[in-house]
Structure 1
């Protein structure tokens, strides 16, 4: 029987080639997206599987109770907890603290910003991060690097024994290079630094007030139940906090989280790590199911559209003695056959999208492609085939042979506002909503890359200084012909905005407000064409003492209630209750951060030790010559390091244009639209074929080609219009849900909604028009010959 079902399925597949291609391609497209989601889900459960003793390793979480009795879970703990557990509880084998560090690192004449953690020596006993060479960083002022970081700093040279410099941590000696990771971990880093002994001593009770400095991991001794640790944690909290008086919270408690339960994340944690979250995985799988649902719609739609010919087949088989369950098995077998063929094509499509950067970074990077994932793919494909075929199977197998063979009416449910029409509307609605959302994202990225920030970006070259002396570099650049100004700064405008600091209007009052801080020299304001509203520019200085004079923006004047810009000049502000600064001038507001946040208070001061970038403004027409001269100067000052200068326009474009994300989303939407249009093509083809005699009669009676085209296509055009009417408001809401995260964003108007709707109509009309035009040109004698 199974062989019979397979033979019939293959025969029908070959007989109706167009419908078979549409169904197989549609199901393959949907399966491709689902397979990516399934691979990512499997990869989420593969996180941290390379660590030894993961069954007795735990991370300590902190549940913080607010004054309103709201509980917020933190992935971090107070820093003394690790030492207390290790020193006072015998069932604890090892503990490790993992503390995030910030700032640039300088090594081998390169200054790089990398992801770094300071860790206890126990880190290398608890976790299974192997070393490719050297020793772990267990001694003070030592560091181990990942292979990628070692290559960035030192190229192909051996990094062991080399030095890295950090502003706060000082000089660090590289003792080892980690082996390349195959499986992902919830801990993502570029280097691991030994936590200093001074920070490991038992701190004062005040250290227990800070519950977010770092993560604490515990390795229990073999045979120790986790209940022992769970019972010890409340006692530790009670002793440590009995003399503390919290101002912003009521208190906190600790709980354990097994290492093998960290990924995928079951809850949103404050100061969390980098494991995938259940909600995100479900959303990805939902996208895959929606795409597969579109393909299933096609299968149902086309199968039901061919109901007339299949109805006769059902009638004959029932007259011959077939029962309903046998017919259902036949149709379900055909559906599974289509699905397995689609799986083969989906695997090919999966191999084509695997190299995409977005796919590698966010979806399948680090996934173990073992037999379990292939079994999952096959089972999922079979289930998808069964679900896609169940509706046609139940409907077609229910035909009564007497009615079908007598009247040949086919499937009555396809008349009027039928199932097939609803499926077509659903397909195009989903595709159009996705297109509007993607176009909104692209327009917002383009707006952030090309919009008006309020500062000069044309003919501006930025140069990271690395370890080249800033003053020497600026002196050399000032001598070049075509250079207008040479400015220095600690940050690049349009990126992160600088460091956030608490600033007080009055030292003795509780009136602190956060302000962004950037260090610039006296050339920066004129070089970037910033407008000075009141006061004067920063003075010329080569020492940090000039940092006592600052220039602020209009927003800072408002936040600190300094009156008008003119009145603000000469007034004082306090940094960290200890440093008094005087306002030298006020600049007009400009967007110095990304468009995610509105304009905030900004303070510009001259602290030469913090300068990291040189910004060169160049005269019109001299860009090429000056760039060549600057590269020559750089080669002379830093002969072993490549020149990494960048035009400001290019910097903003690279910062805000995420082409890998949009490429992948474009691929998904392209698949969705291709499924929808191929389904529409199949329906139009079947409709024109089933009405070929009607077309012949109308032509004989004198109907024109354009009238016949309209007769055959008007129902489908109406469906496109209905889909557009439903999708436009939904697409607007989808686009707005993305834009609401930006303080400054584009609008969703006719340029977005109209363009997407026009694409829908044009492509849909071409799909419908080409098929109906061919049918309208057919010779009526060919279609009426048998009559």
Structure 2
């Protein structure tokens, strides 16, 4: 019987090859997106599975209750907790603390930003990160780095034995380099500084039991010790420390153990969380895949029901010959499963094509182990998808009564005469158009941020990372080059988030204002064409040491009156340095477009300058770039030159082209499925009306009249889909834009474009098929029974 089902299914698929291709492509596209989501989910479940003692490692989480009875959970805990657990309880085999550190790391004459942590020496007794070279450090004052970090700092030089320095950490000798593996971990790092116990205990209030937001605590239990024993101890410690608690806004806190295996995916939102993917994000990804697959299933249902009358006659004849309903049901389900298996093969090919994409590697499948379990999940998912897609048409067609279907020409109807297949077409194009409006909005916003007007000069300005080259030395080599208009520098290029400091009008003020501060070099205002609205530019030399420039927003935040009134007034930086306002610059967008314009302070200190900025005259770009590179190479012959035009820097930072390409791929799949479904429906509709078209042509109907007759119902469906999608798409786009302080608008340029694309695609599909039917020879149509 199964063999007969297979033979009939193959013959049916081959006979209606166009509909089969449409169904296979649609199902394969949906399966491919679902496979990416499934692989990501598997990767999330595999986090930290490479540690030898994974089942015995726990992270201590802190739950707090505020005096307003609000609850929150922190992934961090007090630093003394780790020592207390290891010292006082025999069932704890080991413990370690992990503290996030900040600030640039200096090594090999370079100053760069890295993801850094300070850890106990016992850290490597808990975790099993693989070593590429060197050895695991056993004492404080040492560090381990990743292979990528070693390459950035030392190039091909052996980093073992080299010294790294970070503010607050001091000097650390590199003893080991960790492998760049694809294994996934909730703890990501570039550099781990190993500190002595005494030093890490003093780190950021580390001796204070009431400071629970500084570092992470991990414990390794002895074999055969249950988590309940640890929980009992944590409850006792919580009660003991709550009796001493004297925090201003905290009523009480408690500790609980979180097993390493349960950290990823994250099922709750933890303050100071690490790098594990949230469960909600994984479900959203799976939702996108299921919606895509659902659209493909719509096509299958739609096309199968569209051919309902021809299949209904088949059902009638088979029932008349004695076939039972479950046998007919099995036949149609078998066809669906065979199609899904063919779609699985095509989905594999499509998966191989999208796997190299940077977005896919970084955010979805990087580090995922493609083992037999994952492939088995893909196959099972494909079969289940085929069964579910074929179940509805199979049930509908298998319950037709022979007498009714052999004499009746009525189609399938649902609520109040609305055709089910027409409803599915509307749903498909509505989903596709909503996605298109959202994607176009994202693309326009990112293009706006990449090429928008920031208020400072970015065209023909070179950004050159200095490394350990003194600013004055490189500036002396470049200033007099032909084509160079101005030379200056800054601690961090505009368009980035920058760093903030607490600023006060008076040293003893209790309410400081957070302001963005940048160290700059002389001629900065001229180099970036900034506008002074009052006061004067900073003078060159030591006379500028205690002078600053602020923006108009800082004048408002500090309540300094007008811009002219602010000149000459004093401010305190971080409670330690008094400076005087020399001038006020016109407001401009110096950070990301996510934020409104914030208070800005520019202080002339070449010691803090990390990037040189060179303003170049029009027409001299190529020459100056080459000469600047030569000057750099003379000073640093063994380092690569990384100078970049400022407008290119802004474009690369904000365009996110890899993300856009992947989203465009999803949109293309969505529209392809919808358009192929429409093509199949129009093709079938014209085929079933061939005799009608022939009669109308014989009676004198024109080609245009016949085209409109055949296509008007489909045009109505596209119009209905647009009417549904336009407001929903606007809401989806606005939900994305609301997080930006400065953003594009969603108007006719977006909605009109998307509506036009919908009409053009739909119109081409409808018109090409209906024109062919309208221009065919009516004699052939009338002679074909």
User: Are 1:389 and 2:390 counterparts?
Assistant: yes
Gaps of 5+ in 1: none
The 8 Å contact of residues 63 and 255 in structure 2, kept in 1 or not, is answered as: yes
Helix, strand or coil at the partner of 1:325: helix
Task: Determine the C-alpha separation between the residues in 2 that align with 1:103 and 1:202.
Answer: 18
**Does residue 478 of structure 2 align to residue 477 of structure 1?**
yes
What secondary structure sits across from 1:94 in the alignment?
A: strand
Range with greater deviation from structure 2 (255-264 or 608-617): 608-617
Deviates more, 1:113-122 or 1:287-296: 113-122
Aligned to 1:493: 494
SS of corresponding position for 1:533: strand
- Provide the TM-score with structure 2 as the length reference: 0.97
- Counterparts of 1:786 and 1:619 in 2: how far apart (Å)? 76
1:91-490 alignment runs, 5 A limit: 91-201=91-201, 207-240=208-241, 242-409=243-410, 411=412, 416-490=417-491
Q: Which residue of 2 aligns with 1:658?
A: 656
Q: Which residue does 2:684 correspond to in 1?
A: 686
Matches within 5 A, 1:25-44: 25-44=25-44
The aligned residue for residue 9 of structure 2 is: 9
Q: In the alignment, does 2:630 pair up with 1:632?
A: yes
SS in 1 for 2:639: coil
Q: CA deviation at 1:358?
A: 0.7
Distance 2:686 2:177 in 1: 68
C-alpha distance in 1, partners of 2:641/2:374?
Answer: 46
Report the Cα offset of residue 320 of structure 1.
Answer: 0.9
Contact 2:682 2:766 in 1 (8 A): yes
Measured in 1, the distance between the counterparts of 2:143 and 2:397 equals: 70
CA distance in 1, matches of 2:440, 2:196: 50
Deviation of 1:239 after TM superposition, in Å, equals 4.1
* Structure-2 change in CA distance of 1:20 and 1:30 (3 Å): same
1:623-672: CA deviation from partner (whole Å, max 9, x where unpaired): 22211211111111111111111100000000001111111111111011
**1:528 has 2:542 as partner:** no
Distance in 2 separating the partners of 1:579 and 1:417: 75
1:330-360 Cα deviation digits (max 9, x unpaired):
1111111111111111111111111111111
Distance 1:582 1:225, change over 3 A: same
Aligned residues of 1:83 and 1:200 also touching (Cα < 8 A): no
Q: How many residues align?
A: 784
Q: After superposition, what is the alpha-carbon deviation per residue over 1:454-499, rounded to whole angstroms, capped at 9, x for unaligned?
A: 1111111111000111111112211222222111211111111x22
Mapping for residues 717-756 of structure 1, pairs under 5 Å: 717-756=715-754
**Relative to structure 2, which stretch is displaced further, 700-709 or 73-82?**
73-82
Cα deviation, residue 786, structure 1: 5.0
* Separation in 2, partners of 1:571, 1:238: 52
- How far 1:108 sits from its partner (Å)? 3.3
Are 1:80 and 1:202, in contact at CA under 8 Å, matched by a contact in 2? no
- Aligned to 1:584, the other structure's residue is in SS state strand
1:380 shift after superposition: 0.8
Across the aligned residues of Structure 1 and Structure 2, the Cα RMSD in angstroms comes to 1.8
The residue that corresponds to 2:774 in the other structure is: 776
The DSSP-based 3-state class of the residue aligned with 1:644 is coil
Offset of 1:536 from its aligned partner? 1.9
Conservation of the 8 A alpha-carbon contact between 1:237 and 1:254: yes
C-alpha distance in 2 between matches for 1:679 and 1:725: 20
Distance 1:654 1:83 in 2: 46
Tell me if structure 2 keeps the 8 A contact 1:109–1:641. no
Which residue, out of 583, 587, 590, partners 1:589? Answer: 587
Q: In structure 2, do the counterparts of structure 1 residues 51 and 590 end up closer, same or farther at CA, with 3 Å as the change threshold?
A: same
Per-residue CA shift, 1:19-65, capped at 9, x if unaligned?
01001111111111011111111111011100111111100111122
User: 1:150 is paired with a residue of what secondary structure?
Assistant: helix
CA distance in 2, matches of 1:620, 1:402: 84
Alpha-carbon separation, structure 1, partners of 2:485 and 2:29: 55
The answer as to 2:576 corresponding to 1:578 is yes
Residues 522 and 537 of structure 1 are in contact (CA less than 8 Å); yes or no, is this contact kept in structure 2? no
Q: Which residue is equivalent to 1:90?
A: 90
Conserved in 1, the CA contact under 8 Å of 2:63 and 2:254? yes
Check the 8 A contact 1:137/1:192 in 2, yes or no.
no
Equivalent pair of 1:505/1:560 in contact (CA under 8 Å): yes
2:399 and 2:13 mapped to 1: Cα distance? 22
Task: Tell me the CA shift for residue 162 of structure 1.
Answer: 2.2
State the secondary structure of the residue aligned to 2:685: helix
Query: Could you tell me whether the CA contact under 8 Å between 2:447 and 2:655 is conserved in 1?
Result: yes
Deviation at 1:709, TM superposition (A): 0.6
Q: Secondary structure at the match of 1:207?
A: coil
Q: Displacement of 1:410 after TM fit?
A: 5.1
Query: How many Å apart are 1:406 and its aligned residue?
Result: 2.6
The offset of 1:159, in angstroms, is 1.9
| Aligned 8 A contact 2:121 2:140 in 1 | no
Select between 31-40 and 200-209 the one with higher mean Cα deviation.
200-209
1:609 aligns with 2:610: no
Query: How many angstroms does 1:115 deviate by?
Result: 1.3
1:437-465 CA distances to partner (integer Å, 9 max, x unpaired)? 00100000000011111111111111100
Separation in 2 of the partners of 1:68 and 1:96?
Answer: 33
